[in-house]
């Protein structure tokens, strides 16, 4: 298994850093364009959720770990922010606690749809951990 870990401040400009770093790390897998876009989207949703919802108007640390083996990619995105009071409600499509920021409420739904396994662990004032597993779908060999 190969693994990388990133730790960065919850500034919106760091979302692109996280996404680019993870894509570079996964390059040896020769993923399909679709799979790569799904990984980037899931990671971006989890990181931005940590920034906007976890830390609200403060700056904290976001930890991202990504690993892969022969069959799967494993991502874990963690913050020590305010946590989620009701995970079941937060998982509902179109639910957002930040309507004034014009949030769509689809982040959790998108992550769940693109993943093969999806788990959210959180407790109020105790941070949140999003765990994502994605089966590896390689680009077909060129003839």
Spell out the SS3 assignment of the chain: CEEEEEEEECCCCHHHHHHHHHHHHHHHHCECHHHHHHHHHHHHHHHHHHHHHHCCCCCCEEEEEEEECCCEEEEEEEECCCCCCCHHHHCCCCCCCCHHHCCCCCHHHHHHHHCCEEEEEECCCCCEEEEEEEECCECCCCC
pLDDT at 109: 86
CATH node for 2-135: 3.30.565.10
Higher-scoring residue by pLDDT: 85, 114: 114
pLDDT interval class at 95 (50, 70, 90): low
- Mean pLDDT across the chain, nearest whole number? 88
Percent of the chain exceeding pLDDT 70 equals: 86
pLDDT at 85: 82
Percent of the chain exceeding pLDDT 90 equals: 69
Higher-scoring residue by pLDDT: 45, 105: 45
Find the mean pLDDT for residues 19-38. Answer: 94
Residues tagged active-site:
45, 49, 103
pLDDT interval class at 86 (50, 70, 90): confident
């Amino acid at each position: 298994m190969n693994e990388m870990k990133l730790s960065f401040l919850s500034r919106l400009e760091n979302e692109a850093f996280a996404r680019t770093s993870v894509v570079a790390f996964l390059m040896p897998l020769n993923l399909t364009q679709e799979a790569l876009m799904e990984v980037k989207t899931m990671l971006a949703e989890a990181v931005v959720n940590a920034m906007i919802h976890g830390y609200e108007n403060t700056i904290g640390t976001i930890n991202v770990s990504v690993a892969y083996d022969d069959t799967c990619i494993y991502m874990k995105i963690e913050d020590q922010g305010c946590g989620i009071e009701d995970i079941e409600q937060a998982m509902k499509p179109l639910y957002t606690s930040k309507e004034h920021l014009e949030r769509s409420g689809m982040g959790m739904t998108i992550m769940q749809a693109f993943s093969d396994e999806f788990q959210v662990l959180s407790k109020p004032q105790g941070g949140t951990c999003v765990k994502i597993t994605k089966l590896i779908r390689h680009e077909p060999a060129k003839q």
